Amino acid sequence: MKFMEYLFEGALWRSRYMVVFAVLASMAAALVVMYMATVDVVYLVQHVLHYADSSLAGEARKALHDETITHVVEVVDGYLLATFMLIFSLGLYELFVSDIDEAHGSRASSKILVINNLDDLKQRLAKVVLMILIVNLFEKALKIPMNEPLDLLYLGGAIALIGVALYFTHASESHGKDSEEADTKSEH
């Protein structure tokens, strides 16, 4: 019976390696979105070269300006989504398969890529999602016609809510650091 338990637990423990499929798929998605955003930048640069054309009418220049700003926001959104997928894939790998030794030796990795537990992964992904939402709101705000004072009030309310979300994000981050410092002090 002990032998069966040993085999079953071994198979159960090794089943965590199926996460590698999700890691590879997430990494592929990150590469695809990064590629798409980079292609968008190339077309954006080609498109914006016409902005300096002296024969361009003022109204056409304004339309080109607004369209360019919208495309820049879309590119930022694409890069943020690629970053989200990258963090997600690295986090899954670190949580379920193995620590990334090279990441632990790098100073830059401690800022974003070293994932110690599920809460670390959730916290990092939540920050990227918040940034994506902010960029999407900015993109939509550029397209909203401000016909009535109430439209401006709605936009101001949305901006205020973003400020509150950022405040709570940073407050929870500093709270986490304070509790880590307290835990470290109590151990000594």
Q: Is the pTM of this model over 0.85?
A: no
pLDDT for 79 equals 92
Top pLDDT among 49 and 173 is at 49
* Mean pLDDT estimate for the chain: 80
pLDDT for 36 equals 95
pLDDT tens-digit series, residues 101-114: 676 666 666 566 66
User: What is residue 18's DSSP assignment?
Assistant: G
- Buried b or exposed e, range 127-158, using 16+ CB within 10 angstroms: bbebbbebbebbbeeeeeeeeeeeeeeeeeee
Lowest mean pLDDT among 48-62, 138-152, 167-181: 167-181
Check pLDDT > 80 for residue 44: yes
Concatenating the DSSP letter of every residue in 25-71 gives HHHHHHHHHHHHHHHHHHHHHHHHGGGG-TTS-HHHHHHHHHHHHHH
Residue 82: both structure tokens together? 């690629």
Q: In terms of residues, how long is the chain?
A: 188
Check pLDDT > 80 for residue 9: yes
Residue 37: both structure tokens together? 């955003």
